[in-house]
Amino acid sequence: MAVDSETDLRRAIYGGDEIVPFFQPLVELRTGQLTGFEVLARWQHPAHGLVPPSEFIPLAESTGLIGPLVQSMLRITFDAATTLPEHLTLSVNISPTQFHDPSLPEQLALAARRGGFPLHRVIFEVTESALLHNIDQARAIAYELKSLGARLALDDFGTGYSSLLHLQALPFDEIKVDAGFVQSMIHSRESRKIVAAVVGLGNSLGLVTVAEGVETKAQADMLLWQGCDFGQGLLFGSPAPASNLNRLIAEMSQPETTIAADSPSERSPERINLRPNQQLAQLQAIYDGAPVGLCFLDRHLRYASINQRLAEINYLSVAEHLGRHISEILPQMFQALEPCFLRAIEGESIAGVEFVSLGHAPGKRGDTFLISCQPARDEAGEVIGISVSVVDITEHKRYEEALRTSRNEHQQLIEASAPIPWSPDGDSGTFTIPSRW
């Protein structure tokens, strides 16, 4: 470790402005617009150069210097942020040890007041370890910070002692998805599922979700697809000193440099206007009201969902289908169409297979259905199940059958009839048929 001396750290905090804030952009994934910055400490050490926080924050925490360090850094931060446009926020990290100091809200409020920066534009980030030892005290501090107008973020969610209890115990406004999951989500199915679960949890609790460590467009696209609101990482900008702040804001406000996951013209209107959970509600309504039978089978061919129409076609309730294998519900159909389902699970689209059910009376033909199977893929292209549509074409088939029968009868009638003799009637252009006809 480059820095291990408390005296050195004390001098840096009290003596000069050696511990300075760096600013990392936070961006709305849907539009690519800059929404604020996370403030990250750096030590501009006279001998060691730029020292990262991992090398001095633990020392500051263990020596009780973290409070003065943050105070000193906030002073420089708010000075630098006087020209920050009003719609931009600042996210400030608070150490777990600070979260046990009952005077913390007052200290932070004082720093903001002195710097002339309103607390409603500040988001305080805490990790779950801040809540481990004395959750009641943490809760009291959190509520006090909220009453001062500040917002609260749960940092590094998914690592350490993650517990849903913490999410419920404190009035969080946002969850930050840890960079480790974000970075491995493209190649690791598990990470992808964890990110999807955290984002889904955030959405359903009405919390803003922020992904950290976004380095590639593929990650940003996947996060957007999963419904994540904001991103932070090298793709959008690395932490920069205060002297770069105005240039960074100007650059990121240029439409051509905003890094949206797609260009707006490529996006469909519903992706622009609706959040994924709203899209889901809209799709659910269409699904339930569709006159066509629809269901979703998981990879093991169990009903994950089914709409009302298909439940009626199968003469069972929606609930009676869920979780059950298709062979249990429709043994005869499964026997006939199993290869189609298996091909769909392998990724093939199967369109318009006709299936005739057994008639209710012996020897009687049943209803006819047109069945299509479409593989459903997750954001990484893996087949996670199949979407099945079922159209009852019995009436159409009966009509076709009746038409065919009538055409045949007509044909037979013509064929059974003797040829009618006729002869041209001179030059008049008419024909004469003998009177016996």
Amino acid letter, 386: I
Among 8, 128, 156, 229, binds Ca ion (CB under 5 A): 156
On whether the CB atoms of residues 192 and 222 are closer than 8 A, the answer is yes
The minimum distance between CB 279 and ligand C2E, in angstroms, equals 28
On whether the CB atoms of residues 211 and 228 are closer than 8 A, the answer is yes
Q: Name the residue among 314, 231, 196, 202 with its Cα closest to residue 27.
A: 231
Q: Name the residue among 273, 314, 312 with its Cα closest to residue 289.
A: 312
CA distance 231 to 371: 42
The listed partner (Ca ion, ligand C2E, none) that binds 152, CB under 5 to 8 Å by sort, is none
Between 178 and 392, CB nearer to Ca ion = 178
Between 41 and 245, CB nearer to ligand C2E = 41
* DSSP string over 49-69: EEE-GGGTHHHHHHTT-HHHH
Between 40 and 145, CB nearer to ligand C2E = 40
**Contacts of Ca ion in 195-224 (CB under 5 A):** 212
Q: Residue count at the site for Ca ion (CB under 5 A)?
A: 5
Q: Name the residue among 177, 240, 247 with its Cα closest to residue 213.
A: 177
Task: Name the residue whose CB lies closest to ligand C2E.
Answer: 233
User: Is 93 among the residues that bind Ca ion (CB under 5 A)?
Assistant: yes
CA 370 to chain centre: 33
The minimum distance between CB 264 and ligand C2E, in angstroms, equals 24
Between 95 and 258, CB nearer to ligand C2E = 95
For the chain, how many residues are written?
437
The listed partner (ligand C2E, Ca ion, none) that binds 366, CB under 5 to 8 Å by sort, is none
CA distance 124 to 141: 12
The minimum distance between CB 21 and Ca ion, in angstroms, equals 13
DSSP bridge partners of 177: 157, 211
The minimum distance between CB 176 and Ca ion, in angstroms, equals 5
- Which residues here bind ligand C2E, judged by CB under 6 A? 24, 40-41, 52-54, 57, 70, 73, 93-95, 155-156, 179, 212-213, 215, 233-234, 239
Between 234 and 286, CB nearer to Ca ion = 234
Total H helices, total E strands in the chain: 17, 17
- Strands, E assignment, 46-133: 49-51, 89-93, 122-126
Between 178 and 379, CB nearer to ligand C2E = 178
The listed partner (ligand C2E, Ca ion, none) that binds 41, CB under 5 to 8 Å by sort, is ligand C2E
Between 153 and 304, CB nearer to ligand C2E = 153
Between 92 and 220, CB nearer to Ca ion = 92
Among 128, 155, 174, 392, binds Ca ion (CB under 5 A): 155
- Angle at the Cα of 286 (from 300 to 323), degrees rounded to 5? 25
The listed partner (Ca ion, ligand C2E, none) that binds 213, CB under 5 to 8 Å by sort, is ligand C2E
To 10 degrees, the CA torsion angle through 404, 405, 407, 408? 110
CA distance 164 to 134: 16
The minimum distance between CB 334 and ligand C2E, in angstroms, equals 48
Q: Name the residue among 175, 258, 182, 174 with its Cα closest to residue 214.
A: 182
The listed partner (Ca ion, ligand C2E, none) that binds 52, CB under 5 to 8 Å by sort, is ligand C2E
The listed partner (Ca ion, ligand C2E, none) that binds 297, CB under 5 to 8 Å by sort, is none
The minimum distance between CB 128 and Ca ion, in angstroms, equals 11
State the angle between helix axes of 135-147 and 104-115 in degrees (0 to 180), rounded to the nearest 10.
30
Q: From residue 101 to residue 130, what is the string marking binding to Ca ion with x (rule CB under 5 A)?
A: ------------------------x-----
Between 93 and 307, CB nearer to Ca ion = 93
The listed partner (ligand C2E, Ca ion, none) that binds 229, CB under 5 to 8 Å by sort, is none
Dihedral sign of CA atoms 94, 230, 228, 259 in order: negative
On whether the CB atoms of residues 74 and 92 are closer than 8 A, the answer is yes
Between 35 and 93, CB nearer to Ca ion = 93
Site residues (CB under 5 A) for Ca ion? Answer: 93, 125, 155-156, 212
